[in-house]
Structure 1
């Protein structure tokens, strides 16, 4: 008699079941013995713990009588209390302790799925039987979890969650693959499964189980979707889930379920908003706002305090709701768009008034005041047609930094550093609109108003960072320096682009000169207020190097271009005086700022400063010479040659003498070296190049003037040298005179 393959399969399964039952019985007996031994050990440990508690109590009583010991014990206790809580560690401990259980239930679900698939491929069972097996297995696993819940709570919760997952997937397969249900029936079944799982989690007091339930409840619409969008029905269902979540959260104090619901809800809302913008979406935004706002404030109404997660939830609720609702109003061209930030601000103002009425100065007071100011700022920005995303993210980032400053919770700093780069990206996209924009009014245009919001929030961020204690700043000095540099860059680019757009019709040399002058004045302003801004030393030196480099480029390129345009009658003389305004920041920086900075700690700084002064003075004398004597552009090359041959060596000789004198007087040798280097360059230029292109008269004049300057410089050098020698000898003689007097 032959045994068919299905019968072989059945025999193999029966043998495996017998082996599993035998092994389970043996393991169960050994586990029971181990549990008895563990209970005995726990009794012994409990007795020892009681004895230790008595000894500690006696020590505390003794310490109260002796103040020296009393001072020692609280310090140890305070050290223990001051240790920060590790929020991630419990998660890893849970995964470590229950990894086998989670892996086991996942493997079981896959095994059942593969077995059912094998049975389907062999045509052992029909479509209705397949769905029936799935539901039966799910219910069986849930029942097993129910019986194991008293002694094995976590294990039973995971088992029950696996059973609920099987019910969800069975319903999905029965609807999608086998078409056993209509969509309304499948949706009703998933709703029943969700409600059942929430009730079980509440009854079992299991947060793990309700997390499974929420995942299944929010993913169920995707499982039974046919591609036809019925968003009002979908969000009615989601609102019901959120209300159930809110009730369980208030009864059981489970915060994680609120975050899961928040993430899923707003992902669905944003997808609906982008795919099909409808006014009815506003009502679901408002409903979700109220539900999650109440969820975030539950600890506030119970304990009169806000945790870090509650504050973060408040921030995200307000700003995500503003983005969604204002976007819908703008797309549908409804007014006023500021109704939502003003309404949300009014709600926060009520809570702020409650704090003020009770004369509280707690963290909650700071949070609500920051929320009100931020929402009003967003409302004002949107009223003037600023860009939505950029403005909201900029204000939100500042609010996160403000809250971090108030409570010193690291999570807000992390979110700030995540959001701030997004603000920069959004602002860059806004700036790109200048390329295609036409006829924008000065200042009061959407692009610059958006930039103004970003600039304002960036300046507030800098102030907040400057007011932080030094210990907080030094924890991440690299990121603080980078943030400061990027913040100054944002303000610079925002102002510069608006200026350049408004003068874009002018000649290119005017645009370039204006950009250079603005850059010089901007860096000069930062250097002028460097102490109030608390600019770090390395950043200050870098700004000074950039400042002096800009001076060189400005005099060589901008000045020469403007002078050429004036000679060609394309520009008025007033543009030269406007260009010359850079001399005021240069003089003040040279005489005041450089003396009080760490600029001269680097030897190269002396050479950069002397090069800047030489180029600036030389170029300005050249510009004045051309403006005075050039009547037309063809005369410029001849005048340029004459200036280079006759006047430039004289200017360099005078400057070299000044540098040598300053170097000797101030004992700054680098100035002297720079002066001698300039003299060498000037002499080489004179003897190797200039002398061969001069006429006799010019050659005689140049040599006479140069000789006189060199002789005077030598005389001053010798006189100063003798003076310094006399001072040194006098100081050396002072101790001997004092000795004779004694």
Structure 2
């Protein structure tokens, strides 16, 4: 087929479609007219149909030789009037009005056949109860007659309901529920108020009525029977209450009703029924417990029935979902948590109010965890429900174990329990990919950390008020901190290997990414720092001298070697220098983490500043104590001076680590200039301090003037030399600034108190240094020029 044949066929199809479109438009217009006519008020006549002119397909010429076109295959347009199709649309509109009327009819039917009957039976029961109470209060009929008449009404109503079941099932179900409520009503009254039947018989009858209610609700498949027959029965004891306070009977009665609902839950999952029973039971129980005037009343009774209600609702909430293996919804989880924590709160109140059971609070908390653990284990072993329910209940086990720790234990054991629990949860969250465990580990990590801080604060408070000696390392505090460090190191290792958290926990993962290593470093540092403090505190306590043995007072009859406190501070600075050096070394050699390198740099700078200021001042105090002892009862050894050089050695180690950190490339910035300033400024500070130390030990006068001025001048010359040799302009400028400070010090501070010989030495020395510096600049000026060219 050539192009002309294809074109001819396409034109024919296009013309055919256009003709069909005209027919559809005519039909649509006719339908629109009918709809407008029906919508107009008072219009009942149908509009005349629009009959389009019959359209025929013009004869098609075979423009292509040999092309045969079958016109019978082309759909013909409609030439008949449109009105028949419009009339066919009338039943559809009628169906629409029929459906609207049916909606109205269904609503009316719901009110007339369903709602009114329920309201009626409820009002009937209330009326009978009020009338019975009136008859009772006025002794109108004997107690036995009242009970017999009550049972007769209940049985008659039940028989009438059963007879109507075949034709009027809904109405029959309402009557059955009312009859059951009346049976409860009469049985309770016969036992509690008139003692016409024994307790065993009363409970047996209630069990029978409950069983019948369960069976009836299942047979009728009507939730209303359970609502009125079971939940409605909660109101009976209060309607007939005479204030006798027989709570044991009331709670037993409520327990029987709840057990009936439990049985129903295995067959039906009627949430409104369960919610009503749950809310009413705990509301009644909590109101009664909070209203007790004496905390020792009904101890066993309250504990027994609260436990029974808790277990009943626990099993009820799980029964249907587990049997059908359905996923727990949000409301199911809320009820499960609410039931557990309401019961725990009530139990905690009951036990804490009784002085004989207050020590059992931790055991009670742990018992809650055991209950949840048993349920969790059964669900896991039998594969009864989805994994989310298993994880939820296991999370509750962990929660109650967490709560049991501070309730029963104290001190470091709380910290140990929480940190071990946090580590295990974090492991399960990252390795087993269980998101809920990471949610639980998140608060536990910080709880354990704050608990450790509280342990340390408690130690310091204890030490300040006592003179007890605590052996360093071999003590409970160090054991607690060691376990804490081990757990956090474990979590840190896991987070490095398994750093991917669930999408919904990305924010939490980011916080833990920085929090875990930060807390780990903090804990390691302060753990050993505290042990150093314990060692020197012990030495202080052991140095005690009783100046007046006949008196029992510690002050002023006792003397201590307070040099140990100064030594303690010095060795804490030494330990801090060593700790910062180790951190930098580990990162450079092992971790190689850029973010941690920034933290290393900040920590190192802070430690350097603290040592150059407060640390060196503390070392000068050690020197002064060595030269002039504060007490005649103690001999200060040269260990004070040795400590100084140990500290300087570890300071040099930290400077070396800063150099390696700058060269490692982890900082991703060129910090050579900053390191030069840090190195040479630290060096100047240390040698200045050492000069003062040597002059003080040699008992030389004017050590802060003559010696420092000459030293600073020599150091300026050294910086100039280094700046010229290494072509570092910032060192040369720094040298000039230092020499300027030295000259200012010379003219405004040194000159007024120095002797003539000292002034001569200082001025001559500085003059010679200035001449040397000038000579160096002239000799190596080509280096400076070249340096400038390079910079340009």
Q: TM-score, normalising length from structure 2?
A: 0.58
> Aligned-pair distance for 1:629?
2.8
> Aligned-pair distance for 1:554?
0.5
Distance of 1:535 and 1:151 partners within structure 2: 73
Which residue of structure 1 aligns with residue 462 of structure 2?
A: 436
Which residue of structure 2 aligns with residue 30 of structure 1?
A: 103
Q: Is the 8 A contact 2:471 2:534 kept in 1?
A: no
Which residue of structure 2 aligns with residue 313 of structure 1?
A: 393
> Which residue, out of 342, 345, 350, partners 1:267?
345
Distance of 1:222 and 1:138 partners within structure 2: 32
Which residue of structure 1 aligns with residue 263 of structure 2?
A: 199
Distance of 2:440 and 2:309 partners within structure 1: 28
Q: Does 1:404 align with 2:470?
A: no
Which residue of structure 1 aligns with residue 535 of structure 2?
A: 502
Which residue of structure 2 aligns with residue 740 of structure 1?
A: none
Distance of 1:386 and 1:698 partners within structure 2: 63
Which residue of structure 2 aligns with residue 582 of structure 1?
A: 650
In structure 2, do the counterparts of structure 1 residues 447 and 231 end up closer, same or farther at CA, with 3 Å as the change threshold?
farther
Which residue of structure 2 aligns with residue 381 of structure 1?
A: none
Q: Helix, strand or coil for the counterpart of 2:427?
A: helix
Q: Helix, strand or coil for the counterpart of 1:689?
A: helix
Q: Helix, strand or coil for the counterpart of 2:492?
A: helix
> Aligned-pair distance for 1:628?
2.7
Q: Does 1:703 align with 2:767?
A: yes
Q: Helix, strand or coil for the counterpart of 2:498?
A: coil
Which residue of structure 2 aligns with residue 627 of structure 1?
A: 693
Distance of 2:574 and 2:256 partners within structure 1: 71
Q: Is the 8 A contact 2:425 2:438 kept in 1?
A: yes
Q: Is the 8 A contact 1:552 1:616 kept in 2?
A: no
Q: Does 1:516 align with 2:546?
A: no
Q: Helix, strand or coil for the counterpart of 2:345?
A: helix
Q: 1:318-357 maps to which residues of 2 (within 5 A)? A: 320-321=400-401, 324=404
Distance of 1:413 and 1:640 partners within structure 2: 60
In structure 2, do the counterparts of structure 1 residues 462 and 161 end up closer, same or farther at CA, with 3 Å as the change threshold?
farther
Q: TM-score, normalising length from structure 1?
A: 0.61
Q: Does 1:461 align with 2:487?
A: no
Q: Does 1:540 align with 2:618?
A: no
In structure 2, do the counterparts of structure 1 residues 531 and 646 end up closer, same or farther at CA, with 3 Å as the change threshold?
closer
Q: Helix, strand or coil for the counterpart of 1:440?
A: coil
Which residue of structure 2 aligns with residue 552 of structure 1?
A: 609
Superimposed CA distance per residue, residues 552-571 of structure 1 (whole angstroms, 9 cap, x where no aligned partner):
22023222331343244155
**Aligned residues: CA RMSD:** 5.0
Distance of 1:160 and 1:404 partners within structure 2: 43
In structure 2, do the counterparts of structure 1 residues 286 and 628 end up closer, same or farther at CA, with 3 Å as the change threshold?
closer
Q: Does 1:253 align with 2:322?
A: yes
Distance of 2:220 and 2:674 partners within structure 1: 76
Q: Is the 8 A contact 1:653 1:682 kept in 2?
A: no
> Which residue, out of 448, 454, 457, partners 1:423?
448
Distance of 2:573 and 2:761 partners within structure 1: 41
Which residue of structure 2 aligns with residue 41 of structure 1?
A: none
In structure 2, do the counterparts of structure 1 residues 592 and 716 end up closer, same or farther at CA, with 3 Å as the change threshold?
farther
Superimposed CA distance per residue, residues 25-48 of structure 1 (whole angstroms, 9 cap, x where no aligned partner):
x99952666999xxxxxxxxxxxx
Superimposed CA distance per residue, residues 261-302 of structure 1 (whole angstroms, 9 cap, x where no aligned partner):
443444344445544463777886676555322210233212
In structure 2, do the counterparts of structure 1 residues 421 and 194 end up closer, same or farther at CA, with 3 Å as the change threshold?
same
Q: Does 1:389 align with 2:414?
A: yes
Which residue of structure 2 aligns with residue 88 of structure 1?
A: none
In structure 2, do the counterparts of structure 1 residues 306 and 590 end up closer, same or farther at CA, with 3 Å as the change threshold?
same
Superimposed CA distance per residue, residues 493-550 of structure 1 (whole angstroms, 9 cap, x where no aligned partner):
3333343343244544433333333333223322222268757534431331231232
In structure 2, do the counterparts of structure 1 residues 180 and 31 end up closer, same or farther at CA, with 3 Å as the change threshold?
farther
Distance of 1:390 and 1:643 partners within structure 2: 55
In structure 2, do the counterparts of structure 1 residues 304 and 539 end up closer, same or farther at CA, with 3 Å as the change threshold?
farther
Q: Is the 8 A contact 2:716 2:736 kept in 1?
A: no
Distance of 2:312 and 2:742 partners within structure 1: 92
Distance of 1:703 and 1:315 partners within structure 2: 80
In structure 2, do the counterparts of structure 1 residues 463 and 197 end up closer, same or farther at CA, with 3 Å as the change threshold?
same
Q: Does 1:678 align with 2:734?
A: yes
Q: Helix, strand or coil for the counterpart of 2:469?
A: coil
Q: Helix, strand or coil for the counterpart of 1:529?
A: helix
Which residue of structure 2 aligns with residue 737 of structure 1?
A: none
In structure 2, do the counterparts of structure 1 residues 401 and 484 end up closer, same or farther at CA, with 3 Å as the change threshold?
same
> Aligned-pair distance for 1:641?
1.1
Distance of 2:614 and 2:362 partners within structure 1: 57
Q: Does 1:617 align with 2:683?
A: yes
Which residue of structure 2 aligns with residue 303 of structure 1?
A: 383
Q: Is the 8 A contact 1:516 1:554 kept in 2?
A: yes
Superimposed CA distance per residue, residues 116-144 of structure 1 (whole angstroms, 9 cap, x where no aligned partner):
9xx99xxx989989xx9xxx99965999x
Which residue of structure 1 aligns with residue 510 of structure 2?
A: 477
Distance of 1:251 and 1:528 partners within structure 2: 60
Distance of 1:590 and 1:286 partners within structure 2: 51
Which residue of structure 1 aligns with residue 619 of structure 2?
A: 562
Distance of 1:509 and 1:470 partners within structure 2: 48
Q: Which runs of 5+ in 2 are unaligned?
A: 1-98, 110-114, 139-146, 148-173, 182-212, 541-561, 630-635, 752-758
Q: Is the 8 A contact 1:174 1:180 kept in 2?
A: no
> Aligned-pair distance for 1:402?
0.8
Distance of 2:592 and 2:674 partners within structure 1: 21
Q: Does 1:529 align with 2:586?
A: yes
Distance of 1:477 and 1:263 partners within structure 2: 31
> Aligned-pair distance for 1:620?
2.0
Which residue of structure 2 aligns with residue 380 of structure 1?
A: none
In structure 2, do the counterparts of structure 1 residues 314 and 495 end up closer, same or farther at CA, with 3 Å as the change threshold?
farther
Q: Which runs of 5+ in 1 are unaligned?
A: 1-25, 37-103, 331-384, 665-671, 729-742
> Aligned-pair distance for 1:241?
4.3
Q: Does 1:183 align with 2:247?
A: yes
Aligned residue pairs total: 548
> Aligned-pair distance for 1:460?
1.9
Distance of 1:525 and 1:627 partners within structure 2: 29
Distance of 2:414 and 2:687 partners within structure 1: 51
Q: Does 1:446 align with 2:502?
A: no
In structure 2, do the counterparts of structure 1 residues 179 and 288 end up closer, same or farther at CA, with 3 Å as the change threshold?
same
In structure 2, do the counterparts of structure 1 residues 721 and 427 end up closer, same or farther at CA, with 3 Å as the change threshold?
same
> Aligned-pair distance for 1:308?
4.8
Q: Is the 8 A contact 2:266 2:319 kept in 1?
A: no
Q: Is the 8 A contact 1:555 1:619 kept in 2?
A: yes
Distance of 1:321 and 1:657 partners within structure 2: 69
In structure 2, do the counterparts of structure 1 residues 28 and 562 end up closer, same or farther at CA, with 3 Å as the change threshold?
farther
Which residue of structure 1 aligns with residue 744 of structure 2?
A: 688
Distance of 1:511 and 1:678 partners within structure 2: 36
Q: Is the 8 A contact 2:532 2:568 kept in 1?
A: no
Distance of 2:350 and 2:666 partners within structure 1: 57
In structure 2, do the counterparts of structure 1 residues 595 and 532 end up closer, same or farther at CA, with 3 Å as the change threshold?
closer
> Aligned-pair distance for 1:412?
1.9
Q: Is the 8 A contact 1:239 1:288 kept in 2?
A: no
